[in-house]
Structure 1
Amino acid sequence: MTHLSRRTFMCTSLAGMAAAIATPGFAAGSLDFGKGTLIALSDGTLTVPNQMWTGASEAEQADLGAAVVIGANVFLVRQEGRLILIDGGAGDGAFVTQRFDDLGRLPAALADAGIKPSDITDIVITHMHIDHSGGLISNGKPAFENATIHMDQAEWGFWTREGFADQAPEALRPMVIEIQAIANIIKDQVETHDGTKDFGNGLRAIQTYGHTPGHNSFELDLGDEKLLIMGDIVVSDHIHFQNPDVGWALDGIPDAAIATRRTILGRAADEGLVIAGSHLTAPGLGRVTRNGDAFEFKAL
């Protein structure tokens, strides 16, 4: 983990939504396609200092503002008798509740959509950071008792390895301890894969390592086009499109994270993909176009 162990975790506006573009079937945070529906759910927002964007210029940091609000989106795929959740939300554990006032809203969002936790059949995990995995448990028990939890084997192995909490820097140790406690509770539900798993019905995993050693994105076949659920390749629509080379303080392997960001955004732009981002302004759905050596995001 070398790089991650040297990162300092710093937890101590919103950019305007871009002009909407036409996409058949898109309305009110959902996207209907031939094989089902994608629903964007909000788990709240995170407020973080602008220093989290490492390598940003003084002008870029000034443009961000001292405190930056980013989205916390969770996506649900409903198709052919399956309810597939992309990540588990932040939950209400101590690490989240002590640092973020507006996180952990996924249970309410699911209830508003008429979905019970027991209805979820599958959960596919982009990565194990607490804002993506904390909601997998509730009151010390699995929150989605009927779901199979799918995760890249490299990601699972990285976070569950013995002695990791003792090796982690002091600022990161509380998060690592909480993630390992979550992993111990859900371990019987977890099925690992190699980062290229085909989940059926047009959903498959893609290896997008860098943010974490086993970070995955997910491609969803919409019939006439494809959607890419990016996870944390891009952390907000404030800066990473305009300058993909700006880092993020929690990127475990910074150079790989930048390379992955450029590759994925380039593909999204060149192939006209719909993208879904965990930390874009809600509902986090849009398209990417090239702008010289950088990119622009246009929200749906």
Structure 2
Amino acid sequence: MTHHRTDTNRGRIVPLLDGIMELDPLSTFPGLSADDWNGHEQFLSRSGALSMPYGGFLVESSPGSNVLVDVGGGPMFDVPPDKGSLAMAGRLPEALFDLGVERTSIRAVLLTHLHVDHIGWLAPEGEPFFPNATIYCHQEDWSYFVDVADSPDIRIPNLIAGCEDRFHLWSGSSMTIEDLVMRHTPGHTPGSSVVMVGAPDSAVLVGDLVHSPVEFLHRWNGLADVDSVMAAKTRTEFKNELLATRNMVWGPHFPSMAPGKLRDASPAGITIWDPCCTPESGSDH
């Protein structure tokens, strides 16, 4: 994989590929037809699959001062056979190695939410994989997935076993970690959040607010939303904000994990996705 990076007033953002899911776009977005994807081939692979990476992002302000936003699915992540397959998995440590980043240099992990493809490298062997990092997570996700007698996904408590004492749970609408801002954007999960990078907010790491940029262009139902009505409302509100600010947008499941910007093709009122990235030197996988 070719690394993409951008520089903000905060530092550089580099995607860390952990794996790639190959999914059927029609079964992934139920209720859509092949015609709905016409004109959106840029979001599909050459074979017509929804090739969906997963991983995290490195935000670096200075050498040895590193923050991760999400950490991928880890070594045990898999996709149910009826949903698709994995073309690649378990590569996040290699991605860090390629960049010359030591695990011990990660001082904070910001979790956009607690789904398994975002938390898999927290404690894959029952102890913190990033031993010097504080882990930030919204209280609403912890309450929904962990602090209950019967979790809606038992994999989540199991994946964080061994690093629970490293968690810092925050509540409310936002939290500032130095000059990064986590904003509560509920719907996909109760505690779903986005991370604002730079001042004034020159980049946004959107987590699973959308899985593909195409969801910003149409009012399609999201993927695996806990509250579909709230998720749709949140996506619309944040989309309008992104159209106004023209911030660069990064998503862990975007094609090649590359960023882009939203713009309004007025007067037609059509929202357009403009990919934009600067190649980062590194190996292709």
TM-score, structure 2 normalization: 0.83
Q: Does 1:230 align with 2:216?
A: no
Gaps of at least 5 residues in structure 1 are 1-26, 169-175
What does residue 58 of structure 2 align with? Answer: 76
1:244-259 pair list within 5 angstroms: 245-259=219-233
Q: Which has the higher helix share?
A: 1
- Deviation readout 1:243-267 (Å, 9 max, x if unpaired): 1x11134111111111111111211
Match of 2:36 in 1: 60
Q: What is aligned with 1:198?
A: 176
Identity, % of aligned positions: 25
Partner of 2:156: 179
Give, in whole Å, the separation in 1 of the partners of 2:260 and 2:77: 33
Q: 1 CA distance for matches of 2:118 and 2:100?
A: 22
Pair 1:44 & 2:19 matched: yes
* Native 8 Å contact 1:47 1:67 kept in 2: yes
- Would you say 1:87 and 2:70 are equivalent positions? yes
The C-alpha deviation readout for 1:40-85, integer Å capped at 9, x for no partner, is 2222211122222144345226776874212224211111452110
On the 8 A contact 1:95/1:178 being kept in 2, the answer is no
Instruction: Tell me if 1:286 matches 2:260.
Output: yes
Residue ranges of structure 2 left out of the alignment (5+ in a row): 277-285
Q: 1:290 to 1:56 in 2, by over 3 A?
A: farther
Q: Which residue of 1 aligns with 2:90?
A: 104
Indicate if the aligned counterparts of 2:106 and 2:130 stay in contact, CA closer than 8 A: yes
CA offsets per residue over residues 103-122 of structure 1, 9 Å max, x none? 32111100100012121100
CA separation in 2, counterparts of 1:73 and 1:295? 27
Distance change (3 Å), C-alpha of 1:133 and 1:100: same
Q: CA deviation at 1:297?
A: 1.4
- Per-residue displacement from partner, 1:83-128 (whole Å, max 9, x unpaired)? 1100111101254698534132111100100012121100000011
Counterpart of 2:105 in structure 1 is 119
Q: What is the deviation of 1:135? A: 1.5
Moved more, 60-69 or 183-192: 60-69
In 1, the alpha carbon distance for the partners of 2:275 and 2:168 equals 33
**CA-CA distance at 1:185 after TM superposition:** 2.0
After superposition, the Cα gap between the structure-2 partners of 1:94 and 1:56, relative to the gap in structure 1 and judged at 3 Å, is closer
Alignment check: 8 A CA contact 2:11 2:61 kept: yes
1:134 aligns with 2:124: no
Work out the number of aligned pairs and report it.
Answer: 261
How far apart, CA to CA, are the structure 2 residues paired with 1:94 and 1:241?
A: 27
Bigger mean CA offset, 147-156 vs 76-85: 76-85
- The 5 Å alignment of 1:144-155 reads 144-155=130-141
Distance 1:96 1:179, change over 3 A: farther
Name the TM-score, length of structure 1 as normaliser: 0.79
| CA offset digits 1:200-249 (Å, max 9, x no partner) | 1x2101111111111000111245x6211111111123x31331x11134
Shift of 1:281: 1.0
Q: 2:235 aligns with which of 255, 261, 270?
A: 261
* Residue identity matched to 1:71: P
Match of residue 18 from structure 1? none
Hey, what does 1:240 align to over in structure 2? 215
1:288 Cα deviation after fit: 0.7
Counterpart Cα distance in 2 of 1:261 and 1:47: 24
Paired residues of 1:90 and 1:96 also in contact (CA < 8 A): no
Separation in 1, partners of 2:133, 2:34:
45
Hey, what does 1:171 align to over in structure 2?
Answer: none
Residues 136 and 144 in structure 1, CA contact (< 8 A), matched pair in contact too: yes
